[in-house]
Amino acid sequence: MAQPDWHAMEAAEAARHFAVDPAQGLDEAEAKERLKAYGPNRPSAKAARSGFARFFSQLIQPLVLVLIAAGTVTVFLGEWIDAGVIFGVVLINAVVGFIQEGKAESALAALARTIAAEATVLRNGKRYKLDAAALVPGDMVILSAGDKIPADLRLLGGKELRTAEAALTGESTPVDKSPGPLPADTVLAERRNMAYTGTLAVAGQGAGVVVATGDASETGRISQLIAQAPDLVTPLTVKIGAFPQRLLVAILLLAAITFAIGILRGESAFDRFMAAVALAVAAIPEGLPAAMTITLAIGVARMARRRAIIRKLPAVETLGSTTVICSDKTGTLTENAMTVREIWAGGKLFSVTGHGYSPAGAIELEGEAATVAGALRETLMAGALCNDARLVHEERQWTVAGDPTEGALLTAARKGSLDEVTLNSVFARLDELPFDSTRQYMATLHNVEGVQLVYMKGAVACSSAAGNANTEIGLE
């Protein structure tokens, strides 16, 4: 059934559609009934293949089938050593492919577990933390900076809410959200009153009613399209599929010629037949499948070390043959990680080393380690205190929960030995002025050694108008 144009509705109308009071949310009994009707809030998983099916699929490759045929013929000829070698190669090839594919599927399953999210939900007039899988259409979800959007939401209200939607739309910069209705023909990337599953709230607060879960969400639809994709066909698999046919024709032709020449010379038909079979077996490149599998497995292992998961071995050959990648948006192919490169403070230009959100790096002045004091220290403190993001270190990787630019400022502060957690505990935030696209700056009030100080960050022109144009940070 087609979904209504939620973005074209008034916020209150969307809530009435699901018979929910935005101030109270659903009651538990109704939520349980809807969970039975709509199912868990997760995309339907494609049925996993059994271990036997995965192993058997390694044995029906074209070259492997040729090897099995050759091994069978050598068994009938009584050449047990040759048959053992051939079937050994077949077994090794199958085991390597089976193990590699199993590792890839395990990695994909682990990746799916990492994206599981919790949601703050309003039910019976009270706020609860629930697993996102328990959400149902009509649930009232409360959003804060750093939250992952757990379902497709029609936003009912908010304060300076911005979301990062690169995973869905490819748009690299955060999108400002507002609850007002939009024209029905507004494209998905411009629906400012909607928040979509899997995207991230990077600033502000908001609230919305769940309008779609699981397969009905925009992300769920993409998941279903991926599940319907045809089996992998790469240039390498096409060539491998054609090679055995050509090889078989050539081998049979040579064997027939050998047999015919022997008969014409008056030799025994049985002896010539055995010689022709021996020639056919010898002509089959037994080591080619194993060599090809090992080479591709090495390529997959190298890609895995660079955090690229490749499920099917032949795909690595296609990826390695890529010469041009076309993209319609700059942010699609970036890491979505900002890094502070330069700091202008106290009339001096400081350079910052390091990459991404890892605090490994240093602040330098003319190639030498800089002393973090005076204007430089105050600049780093401003970036760390006037900030709503937080750095997260998981599985030996640094990420940011919140706005990427704010994450870059926290990283720069850590490179100057200033930890934002310690700073916020010592210099408590008393009040704040959230970032606004009109004034183009954010400000926070802190108690610094008994004195109330305002730290602010934003566009240089606006900061100058506010009398604070002494510092500037260069990002990339």
Write out the two tokens for 236: 């390498």
pTM of the predicted model as reported, rounded to 2 decimal places: 0.54
* CA–CA dist 55, 251 (Å, integer): 29
**Dihedral angle of Cα 159, 165, 166, 170, to the nearest 10 degrees:** -120
pLDDT digits (tens, 9 = 90+) for 437-473: 677 888 899 988 888 999 998 876 544 444 444 455 5
* CA–CA dist 295, 311 (Å, integer): 15
Exposure b/e, 114-127, CB count within 10 A at least 16 = b: eeebebbbbbeeee
| Segments in 24-79 forming alpha helices (H) | 28-38, 51-59, 62-76
The CATH H-level (homologous superfamily) assignment of domain 340-475 is Calcium-transporting ATPase, cytoplasmic domain N (3.40.1110.10)
* CA–CA dist 457, 468 (Å, integer): 9
Residue 194 CB coordination number (10 Å): 26
pLDDT digits (tens, 9 = 90+) for 288-316: 665 666 677 677 777 767 766 666 666 77
Which stretches in the chain have pLDDT values below 70?
1-2, 45-49, 61-63, 66, 70, 74, 77, 100-101, 103-116, 226-234, 236-237, 240-241, 281, 284-294, 297, 304, 307-314, 327-336, 437, 460-476
Catalytic residues: 328
Residue 182: burial class (beta carbons within 10 Å; 0-12, 13-18, 19+): middle
Are 442 and 458 in contact by the 8 Å Cβ rule? The answer is: yes
Domain residue ranges of the chain, discontinuous segments joined by +: 6-41+135-226, 51-111+231-320, 340-475
Q: Sheet holding 451-458: strands in order across? A: 429-433, 441-448, 451-458
DSSP 146: T
Are 309 and 327 in contact by the 8 Å Cβ rule? The answer is: no
Residue 173: burial class (beta carbons within 10 Å; 0-12, 13-18, 19+): middle
Q: Which of 2.70.150.10, 3.40.50.150, 3.30.470.10, 3.40.640.10 would CATH assign to domain 6-41+135-226?
A: 2.70.150.10
